[in-house]
Structures are given as C-alpha cells and as structure tokens.
Amino acid sequence: MKELLLTALLGIGILVLDILNLKKYVLPFILLALATLVGFIAADWGTIETPFGQTMLVYENGANLALGVFAVVLFFWFILSSSYFKQHEGKTDLYALVVFSFCGAGLLASFGNMAMLFLGVEILSIPVYVLAASKKHDLASNESGFKYFILGSVASAILLFGITLVYGATGSFDLAVISNFIQDGKDASIIMNVGITMILVGFLFKISAAPFHIWTPDVYQGAPTWITAFMSTIVKAAAMVALFKLFTGPFQFYVEANGYTIGVIAAVTLIASNTAALWQTDVKRMLAYSSISHAGFLLSTIIGNASLLSLLFYLLTYSIAGIIAFGVIKETQTLEGNPLKGLYRRNGVLAFAFTAALLSMAGIPPFSGFIAKYFVIAQLIEAKYFALVVVMIITSAIGAFYYLRASLNVYQHIENAGRIVLTPLIKWTYILLTALLVLLTVAAGYIHLL
C-alpha cells in the first residue's frame, strides 16, 4: 500500500515543485522516490498485505515483483529521457502525467477486484492520451493522441461491458468470489463467457494483439519518441500483467476451454506484425510492429501455463531493449536523411547498445531476449501447442531479417560523420542497460530461487 501512496504523492509532489519553481530538482526527486519505492518492495518481500479488506488490492510477492520491474524500467526511462525533456517547457506536467500513469500500472499489478482493475486501466491510459498529443504544434502527435483516445475509449467501453456481464453472471467484482463461483462447479453461463471475451478484447487492445493492434503503428509513430517508449514498455507491461493475473487466476477455466482460440490470436498477431514489419522503412514504425509481435509472445504465456516470473522476465528484457532502441532513435532524430546509417561513426556506445537491443528483441544469444523467448516456447511445447511454436519460430526468422537489416545499417560507412555527444550519466546508463541484457541471461539460471 505504501508503494502506491508513494507513487501518488510523487505525482503531486512534482506539481508542487513546479509551483515552488524548483524545476531543476524534479528529476533527482523522481529518481530518489523510485529508488525508495524499490526499497519498500524489497522490505515488503514475503509479506502479504490486503488493504481495504480482502477485496480491493492484494500485495503479495508477485504484485510486488511486477511493480518492482515497472519501477526499474521507469527509473532508467527517466534517466535516458532527461535530455529530451530538458528543452521541453511543460516538463514537469509531463513528468507528473507519467507518474500518474505509473500509478495505474501499480493498481494493475495488485488489483483484487474488477473495480480496481478498471480504475487501473483508466488511470494508466488517460495520462497517456495526453502524453501522446503532448507535442502541441506537431500534427502527427495530435493525430496520434486523438486516435489513441478514440480507440482507447472504445476498448475501455468493451472492457467495462465485459466486467458488467461477468458481474451479472457471478454477482461480484471480487476476483476471489469469481474464482470460487467457478470452482464450486457452477456452469459458466453464456453471459459469463461473452463477458470474459469482452474483457479479453479490451486487453488485447491494450497489449496490441491482432486484430486489435492496427492502431499501434500510427500512434507509436506519431507520438513523441520517449512517450512511445513509455507506451510500448510500461503501459504494455502493466496491461499484460493484469491480463495474466485474470486469465491464469479466476478465468483459467476460460483459457482451458478456449486455449486454441487464444493460440490462433497469438499466431495471427505474430504473422501480421512480422510480415508487415518487413515493409517498413521508418525504424520507429518497424519497432511498433516489433512491439506487436512481442504481444504475440506475451499472450502465449497465458496458454502455456507459464509462471508470472517468466512473464516478468520477458517484460523486463523486452522493456530494457525497448527503451534502448527508442532512446537511440530519439538521440539520432535530429539528423537529416537516414539518421541511423553509420551510427557507429557518430557514437560507438549508441551503436552497440542499439545492436544489442535489436538482437535481444530478435532473440539471439547471449542477449536475454533469447532466454525470454526460450521460456515461452519451452512452456508451449510442454502444453503441446506445437503449431503455435512452429509459427513462432518461422516468424522469429522473419523478425531476425528486419532486426538485422536495421542493425547492419548502423555499421555502414559514412563520410564526415558528426559526433553525437552524450552526457556521462546517459552514456553509462546505456552501457549498464546493454550489460544488463547479457547479465539477465546469466541471471535466468537463478530465477527459480525467487
């Protein structure tokens, strides 16, 4: 509970600092708060806390770990994005919005009640609509925010409708009650099934799985790059954690009955995203399709009897690679023509970090994306979803093509390359994150100790 309070207070605190004209302390303040948050999580390890009775929020190891992963990713996001926000006049407002959105992510990690779930989704999404449109004089950014808002509201409506139907069938918002309802042997009615399907659709939109993914390239491309990075990592990860909690918890019976259908959704997502990515010439749009293809992998975790740990491992790995990749794109965005071409001549650290991130996304050892995908595929094989595994492997091969094409681009020779200068803090953060991509591979061996 104190984690959530801390986050909410942090958001308000940022606004207060703005009023007191202490803008230059905002970033250290945020980083300190996030570090404290991780400290709280570590201190709470192993305890179970249920504020507001049994129903609303449940803090146990899984929820805490998810929150910890989000906090770590957000920590690095704030460091790397600092050079962009430095020139931004409305910096503190945007920071506050990000932190509020993060509050929603916190709710999604710990909800024990569908009301909290819906609140979490909305708190997560509404600041992002604003953030996506935050480049006020940029048409693409406005379009991005507007599209996201319209489509997001429809998705929220479908989600809410689904929650209502489930309430109608079971008489409760409480996950424990819903679980017991099924376990007591009562038949799931049509209403219940329709409701759960609509909840699923709401989340498929949020994690951008097919066929509810088509907004993603437009919105990701149009939004300011650092906001895209936030959307494709933390927003997506939080939605995925919520989806995972629901469908491996109270709705497990639904997954057992319809595993095949969910497998088809994952397969279609993988095929549609990876083949479309082949055509992309804009690297940001290519990463949007890459993000969709990861949704295919993430969605598969719920039918493969995966553990929350392996999902969080995937999310952490993917998020680190994601903020590196979007970060590098942002650093080069001011350049003319093809900005990534010959990047190694402009800045070796950025070039190497970018390559490592893309190779990790492609699932090539020794980067941890390989292990993350390996976990997913191994669990799918155990659950006997062979056709889906075949699709994953073929689409990964297609994926390797465009990831490698983009990373080779970085090493092309160019004349008169102007240097890109990074501050020491940012440079070392890139190095640290790249090292993390390798270290996580090693750490994967110890994951069972948690």
Q: Which residues bind another protein (CB under 8 A)?
A: 147, 150-151, 154-155, 158, 190, 193-194, 197-198, 200-201, 205, 210-212, 214-215, 217-218, 258, 261, 264-265, 271-279, 398, 401
Q: Torsion-angle region of residue 412: left (phi > 0), alpha (psi -120 to 50) or beta?
A: beta
Q: Which is nearer to another protein, 10 or 406 (CB)?
A: 406
Per-residue CA distances from 334 to 84, 371, 418 (Å): 11, 35, 12
**231 is written with which tokens?**
């959307």
The residue among 12 and 214 lying less far from another protein, judged by its C-beta, is 214
Minimum CB separation of residue 68 from another protein in Å reads 31
Indicate the residue among 147 and 345 with the shorter CB distance to another protein: 147
Nearer to another protein, 190 or 431 (CB): 190
> Residue 204 Cβ, how far from another protein at the closest point, in Å?
8
Q: Closest CB to another protein among 232 and 274?
A: 274
Q: Of 61 and 197, which CB lies nearer to another protein in the complex structure?
A: 197
Contact (Cβ atoms closer than 8 angstroms) between residue 265 and residue 197: no
Instruction: Between 151 and 177, name the residue whose CB sits nearer to another protein.
Output: 151
Nearer to another protein, 85 or 215 (CB): 215
Q: How many angstroms separate the CA atoms of 320 and 328, rounded?
A: 12
The tokens for 1 are 């509970």
8 Å CB contact between 437 and 368: yes
270/297 Cα distance (integer angstroms): 8
Would you say 124 and 242 are in contact if contact means Cβ atoms under 8 Å apart? Answer: no
Q: How far is the CB of 107 from another protein (least distance, A)?
A: 25
With contact defined as beta carbons under 8 Å apart, do 212 and 201 qualify? yes
Q: CA 54, CA 442: separation in Å to the nearest integer?
A: 38
Sign of CA dihedral 74, 77, 83, 89: negative
Phi, psi of 329 (to 5 degrees): -60, -40
Q: What's the closest the beta carbon of residue 211 comes to another protein, in angstroms?
A: 4
To the nearest whole angstrom, how small is the minimum distance from the Cβ of residue 212 to another protein? 6
Question: Minimum Å distance from CB 134 to another protein?
Answer: 20
| Closest CB 149 distance from another protein, rounded Å | 10
Shortest distance (Å) from residue 426 CB to another protein: 30
